Amino acid sequence: MSETPYLREPGYALRYRDQRFHSGSGAGTDQRERRVLRRLLQHCPPTQGLWLDAPSGAGRLSGELPGPVVQADRDPAMVQACAGAFARTCASVHRLPFADRTFAGGLCHRLLQHIPTAEERITILLELRRVVQGPLVVSFFDRCSLQHLRRQLRTWLGRPSGRHAVSRRAFRSELGAAGWQVTAMHALRRGLGEQTLVLCRPAPPN
């Protein structure tokens, strides 16, 4: 499955790291995302071993994960912008360069709303299932929200955003198709905002 190459202006990754979530509404979003992520991780049994943050972006949430972390992102500039002492690599979540069951847990945040089809989302979730043997926290955009309605109105007015939302039921089905079972689901602002985080675990074999 081909991926569109990144065409970013110089300095984009550093601005994303240093500005995007440090002021205005971005700072509030950062606080809500950290709060929800911590709440979900409380449901996880203690784990030993590496955690995967993919795509990591500039590594904003890597420090919230309960173990040593490997950061992976397909944008080389984002990988270079990652701060801290975590291991990092430039890699696509479609084809991760890790052996099966390498990681005790994983985070896949702020990716799937950019993926237009269920087929491609399931492909990504299957690849994460291959390399992660324990819990996974993954985010998606919930279409049952005021923010999604506003986005739809802008699309009808000829201003599409490039973001894609699905229902909770549909996303549960996609997770199930990739071998994941939902443990808990929390929206940042239920009914208002689209961003929703899900804690899931590998589904038992049939």
Q: What is the pLDDT of residues 6-63, one digit of tens each?
A: 677 889 999 999 999 998 899 999 999 999 999 999 999 888 899 999 999 999 999 9
Per-residue pLDDT of 107-151, as tens digits, reads 999 999 999 999 999 999 999 999 999 999 999 999 988 887 888
pLDDT value of position 161: 76
- Angle (CA) 143-114-13 rounded to 5° is 130
Residue 19 falls inside a structural domain: yes
Mean pLDDT of the chain: 92
Residue 69 falls inside a structural domain: yes
Residue 110 falls inside a structural domain: yes
Q: What is the mean pLDDT of residues 1-5?
A: 62
pLDDT-above-90 percentage for the chain: 75
Residue 31 falls inside a structural domain: yes
Residue 189 falls inside a structural domain: yes
Residue 7 falls inside a structural domain: no
Q: What is the mean pLDDT of residues 86-110?
A: 97
Measured CA to CA, the distance from residue 204 to residue 68 in angstroms comes to 26
Is residue 145 within 8 Å of residue 163, measured between CB atoms? no
The parent domain of residue 44 ranges over: 12-202
Residue 125 falls inside a structural domain: yes
pLDDT value of position 1: 52
Tokens of 96: 């991760």
Residue 162 is part of a domain; what is its CATH number?
Answer: 3.40.50.150
pLDDT value of position 101: 97
pTM of the model: 0.92
Measured CA to CA, the distance from residue 110 to residue 75 in angstroms comes to 14
Measured CA to CA, the distance from residue 44 to residue 105 in angstroms comes to 9
Is pLDDT of 155 > 80?
A: no
Residue 4 falls inside a structural domain: no
Is residue 96 within 8 Å of residue 54, measured between CB atoms? yes
Task: Work out how many domains the chain is built from and give that number.
Answer: 1
